[in-house]
Amino acid sequence: MALESINPTTGETLETFDEWPPDRTRETLSGVNAAWLDWRYTSFSQRSDSMRRAAQVLRRNKDEFARIMALEMGKPIAGGRAEIEKCAWVCDYYAENAEAMLADEPAKSDGARAYAAFRPLGTILAVMPWNFPFWQVFRFAAPALMAGNAAALKHASNVPRCALAIEEIFRQAGFPENVFRALLIGSGQVEKVIENETVKAVTLTGSDRAGRTVAAKAGEMLKKTVLELGGSDPFIVLADADLEESAKTGAKARCLNSGQSCIAAKRFIVEAAIYDAWLDRFRTAMSKLVVGDPLDERTQIGPQAREDLMRELHRQVETSVAMGAKVLLGGKPMERQGYFYPPTILTDLSPGMPACDEELFGPVASVFKVRDEKEAVEVANATPFGLGASVWTRNSSKGEAIAARIEAGAVFINGIVKSDPRLPFGGVKISGYGRELSCYGIKEFVNIQTVWVK
């Protein structure tokens, strides 16, 4: 099997990489484990110095890395630079805070002294997606490495150049050789990697189907997992919301990263009293978004990352329309070279339609009219997913009360759902379990060791 880097703007194959044979994968994992045996005993100061240098490498080369993302998965160049800056931020954040987060915690007991200590586990396998090819990796790697673990990355098969670039960043930052390695393997080797005795835990960001497969194998091997899976985030607009701001932000929230984000707003749930006025503003905002070459600074929406993904998105739209949905904007692939899908709005939706029940991973917005706040919450929760949600109202106290009733890992009131190194990130239901980022994320992959002293 070959790992192909294909430019989604043109369909051109940029590079082809031969998949590693299993023996090379095993040898690399052995090297990672050997590096960890020393890395786990390094001081927080030493780890912090290396992590801060990684942030410097990222910032120094952000134009280059943004270009790699634009060419390999179609990310608009401005969004690529922002992604690299965020990666540098998470490196600096954990360089600054990891030691305090993992400080021994005293506990009362019948001994003279007792405390909980946080020890590294070993090699953590990260199975990562293509949509934020640098950020998804760094939000795992920064806390994992600062906790004293080593990392093996199985990146998405369509972004091998991103994977190798990330490995080189850690090398240039002065991390010991093999503490972080990218494995050039396909999904067929993942289960064997999980079985490898040097791998102590697994984190995956991806589809719920991939999550079930990885969790099943890890469970068989009694290895911990953290899963961040798909989302079908509700965007609730109450009658007292700022219509202009919520509509403009809603368009941005739906089409961020060309609509290819787990935490993108996907289901827009609008109170009947303001439905028509809000929908008119939302349609205007969506229609003004600039679709084009991701290397063009003006572009806001690039191509979909792969042709099969664009075709699947269109199948979901067509099936929904055949079942009675109405197309208010867009609705079919653009007639141009590359895998471009325009900003699209669907209305008149009902359960059973893909646009109602499934995750639409592209710039397609599903809009629902509801009678009141009660029905808004019911529609918001009527999904197997539970990653993020947002509520729009001029009454923040009302927004917080509604947040308490929403089944999601994060609820943002009058703001776009986003990840932030300072805040825990993750979902419930089939959106996964465990948390990344903040103090909670760094403690996912440690041995919480009780120490009792007489």
- 3-state helix/strand/coil string of 135-153: HHHHHHHHHHHHCCCEEEE
pLDDT of residue 257: 98
pLDDT of residue 1: 76
**Any idea which architecture 2-229+429-453 has in CATH?**
3-Layer(aba) Sandwich (3.40)
CA angle 271, 317, 129 (to 5 degrees): 95
**Measured distance CA(262)–CA(278) in Å, rounded:** 24
Spell out, as residue ranges, where the chain has pLDDT lower than 50: none
Question: What is the percentage of the chain residues whose pLDDT exceeds 70?
Answer: 100
Nearest-CA neighbor of 42 among 83, 108, 98? 98
CA angle 161, 145, 143 (to 5 degrees): 95
Nearest-CA neighbor of 155 among 189, 121, 123? 189
pLDDT of residue 154: 98
- Active-site residue list: 228, 262
Q: Which residues, in sequence order, are CB contacts of 137 under 8 Å at separation 6+?
A: 126, 128, 153, 155, 166
54 sits in which H/E element: helix 44-60
Q: Do 2-229+429-453 and 233-413 agree at the fold level?
A: no
369 sits in which H/E element: strand 364-370
> Residue 215 in 3-state DSSP?
helix
Pairing label, strands 105-106, 12-18: unpaired
Q: State which fold the 233-413 domain adopts.
A: Aldehyde Dehydrogenase; Chain A, domain 2 (3.40.309)
Distances (CA, A) of 58 to 44, 139, 181: 21, 14, 17
Q: What share of the chain is helix, strand, coil (3-state, %, to 5)?
A: 45, 20, 35
**Measured distance CA(388)–CA(410) in Å, rounded:** 5
Q: Which pTM value belongs to this model?
A: 0.97
The pair of structure tokens assigned to 401 is: 């009360």
Q: Which residues, in sequence order, are CB contacts of 24 under 8 Å at separation 6+?
A: none
pLDDT of residue 24: 98
**Measured distance CA(208)–CA(231) in Å, rounded:** 9
Domain segments of the chain: what residues? 2-229+429-453, 233-413
Q: Which residues pair with 201 in a beta bridge?
A: 124, 224
**Measured distance CA(300)–CA(77) in Å, rounded:** 9
